[in-house]
Amino acid sequence: RTVERTFVATNSIQGRGRLNNWLQHDEAWHKVRSLTQGASENKTLYAIPYMMSNHPEHPIGSKYGLGIELTDSRYVALNMLRMTRTGSFALDLIHASVKKQKESCGLATLNDVEIGKAFVRAVNITGNLDTLSRTNDETDDRWFVTFPDTRFIVHHGSAYGGNALLGKIAHGLRLASADAQKNRWLAEQMMIIGVRDKLLDKSEYVVAAYPSASGKTNTAAMAVPESLSNRFEVTFLGDDIAWMYVGEDDQLYAMNPEAGCFGVAIDTRFDTAPNLVSAVSSGSGTIWTNVGFNTNTRRIWYEGNGEPFPDDLADWIDYKGEAIEDRPVSQQRSGDFPWAHPNSRFASPLKKFNQGSVENNVSNLDPLCEHQSGVPISAILFGGRLPYREPLVRIIDNSVDGLYDGFVLGVVKTAAADGADGKFGPDPMTMGAFFGPSETDYIENWLDVIHRSRDKVPTFAHVNYFLRWSAFEDQLENLGLEEAYQQRKSDFIWPGYGWNILEILWVLRSRNSSTDFKATAVGRIPENFLSFEQWLGLSDDEANEVRTELHRDVSESAVNALFHIDPEAWVGELERRDRFLANYPDMPDEFLDAHTRFRRNIETIAPSEA
């Protein structure tokens, strides 16, 4: 994802934010027209009518989810067939939308703006990928531009991922967030999951914003640990995008507009995401990109797949297309010289055809994934990769404070964005690369959604699966962690993956006031997280079984360390937030008041200078 070459172009300067790389509409249009004119001569063009919606009559998707992508890349066409709902039915819906638009405005022929109201036009021209200029300035040939005023998207200079599958990021997030801001709904980079209590036969639904490669797909596709599997299960609705609206009943509803998963390949294996293993197996229709590949057997290989390096290296090539056998011996089977790119991907459909019938391709797909209204949301989670400071989970009681917490999010970035891997930086709402409107307009829309949800507003919480032992090395004695540190099985304190069900369940149980908690300056944290009898309602035997299984990976003292609040670290975070928010002096007072409350809370725990 080439963030610095991705732009939003509007007629009014009001559309300019600090993160959306704003351009003036006409100047950007002239640029991309000049780049794409004639660039596909002698190439096959694919016209792909698609629908970004889980249902043709969804109240949001039916209005804002229709589009046609024109591309000169067969790879893009094949991925769009998996990631969006495509075909003649989508073309019929587009025809109907055009007809409706003509009737509504009384025009026999629609102008450019009115056409955009009927459906999105998206053009992806790859250009000559071998000779493209990559100078990161005006002479760069990579221009990825979204035009919200006319609902037009033009991308030149890439055939990969969010730069080229224009229904996904460009339409599903960047353009959709601009549509949402104008029409009082939300388009977010969020997974959607259901958490089902089998005993009560009841499901609650959660959306979560984690940066790419930070656990969204694995969480959505998780299988809960064996000791909890008789009672709970997680169901998959979406791993990347959520379109949300407030219904007439004041409830916030969400749906996944995509038809597939475009997940990070690295570390996808049975013990991390078991419900995805079958979804990407032979016969699933999965497309793999930038992984190791055997040109004879057509096997694929990537780091973290749970298998050793192949014994026979004949016919194996790495993600650059270079033969593994041509490497020096020391580099052939070394983690320092990977076979797969860190942002290698799979594209796999949610459902597949099998002998004339349609069946789930993702085994834990929620039965309401295609419900016309979407699903009601009980909780909104924010999180990302952070090795220190953030506890495993904390609840923010005030919903405006929860929104504030999501916007000031700072995380360690991943390889999903070009050049960002391992760098700490702000990623507001994990939408930093995807904002269509200005951030101020975006926040004003979120505040409107919160207020219209009234007493049904979801619970806001922050999670952090990625605390590292290295952050505690100078506090082992004070926190009683010496033994746990010596017995650590990983660089990470929390085992994650299926165990992440516990943090999510704690948030949902807290919503129903059935948990013991400790109030801190940064929100509510569990008082007795391992007391599953109390807050999870398990029997003594069931709770002991869960504790026993959990302790195979992490000791009781280590679990307690996950909820340690470090005053010095939070004072540092306050200073970072001060600097970050100095860029947004025009934010609504209601939002800035949340920062004032955070400052006062941190001042109560700040170490004295004495």
SS (H, E, C) 576-609: HHHHHHCCCCCCCHHHHHHHHHHHHHHHCCCCCC
Q: Are residues 252 and 243 in contact, defined by beta-carbon separation less than 8 angstroms?
A: no
State how far the Cα of 238 lies from the Cα of 57, in Å rounded to an integer.
19
Strands (E) across 228-335 are located at: 232-238, 242-246, 252-255, 260-264, 287-289, 292-294, 300-301, 316-317
Share of the chain above pLDDT 70, in %: 98
Question: For the chain, what percent of residues have pLDDT higher than 90?
Answer: 81
Q: How far apart are CA 475 and CA 568, in angstroms?
A: 13
Would you state the pLDDT for residue 229? 96
166 Cβ partners below 8 Å, 6+ apart?
67, 69, 71, 122, 123, 124, 153, 155
* Strand 375-383, strand 202-209: pairing: parallel
The predicted model gives 511-537 an average pLDDT of: 90
Residue 280 has pLDDT above 70, yes or no: yes
User: Which pair of tokens denotes residue 136?
Assistant: 């990161």
Higher-confidence residue of 361 and 355: namely 361
Residues 557-591: pLDDT tens digits? 888 889 999 999 999 999 999 999 999 999 999 99
Tokens (6 digits) for 44: 């096959």
Query: Does 357 score more than 60 pLDDT?
Result: yes
Q: Mean pLDDT over residues 53-69, rounded? A: 98
Q: What is the pLDDT of residue 610?
A: 44
Contact 222, 498 (CB under 8 A): yes
pLDDT of residue 512: 76
Q: How does residue 384 score in pLDDT terms, banded at 50, 70 and 90?
A: confident
Which pLDDT score is estimated for 416? Answer: 55
The mean pLDDT value of the chain amounts to 93
Confidence of residue 417 (pLDDT cuts 50, 70, 90): low
Q: Which amino acid is at 557?
A: S
Does residue 170 surpass a pLDDT of 50?
Answer: yes
**Element housing 216 (H / E):** helix 216-220
For position 213, what pLDDT does the model report? 64
Mean pLDDT of 258-287: 89
Can you give the pLDDT at residue 423?
Answer: 73
Angle at 204 between CA 200 and CA 210, to 5 degrees: 145
pLDDT at residue 322 above 90?
A: yes
> CA-to-CA distance for 503 and 290, rounded, in angstroms?
33
pLDDT by residue (tens digit) across 442-493?
999 999 999 999 999 999 999 999 999 999 999 999 889 999 999 888 999 9
Q: What is the pLDDT of residue 422?
A: 63
Contact by Cβ (8 Å): 276, 223: no
Cα gap 90→56, rounded to integer Å: 9
Q: Residue 364: what pLDDT?
A: 94
d(CA 79, CA 165): 7
Can you give the pLDDT at residue 138? 87
Taken as a whole, the chain contains a residue count of: 610
Residue 419 has pLDDT above 60, yes or no: no
Q: Does residue 516 carry a pLDDT above 90? A: no
CA angle 248, 253, 257 (to 5 degrees): 125
**With the CA atoms of 554, 560, 563 and 565 taken in that order, what torsion angle do they form, in degrees rounded to the nearest 10?**
-130
- Give the sign of the dihedral formed by CA 287, CA 293, CA 294, CA 299: negative
Band of pLDDT at residue 3, cut at 50, 70 and 90: confident
Q: Is 254 within 8 Å of 375 (Cβ atoms)?
A: yes
Identify the helix (H) or strand (E) that includes residue 347: strand 345-349
> Cβ neighbours of residue 71 under 8 Å, at least 6 residues apart?
45, 46, 48, 77, 80, 123, 124, 125, 126, 164, 166
Are residues 464 and 383 in contact, defined by beta-carbon separation less than 8 angstroms? yes
**Two tokens at 57?**
């009559």
Q: Is a pLDDT exceeding 70 seen at residue 434? A: yes
Buried b / exposed e along 548-576 (16+ C-beta atoms within 10 A): eebeebbbeebbbbbbbbbeeebeebbee
* CB neighbour class for 307 (10 Å; exposed up to 12, middle 13-18, buried from 19): exposed
| Cβ-based neighbour number of residue 600 at 10 Å | 10
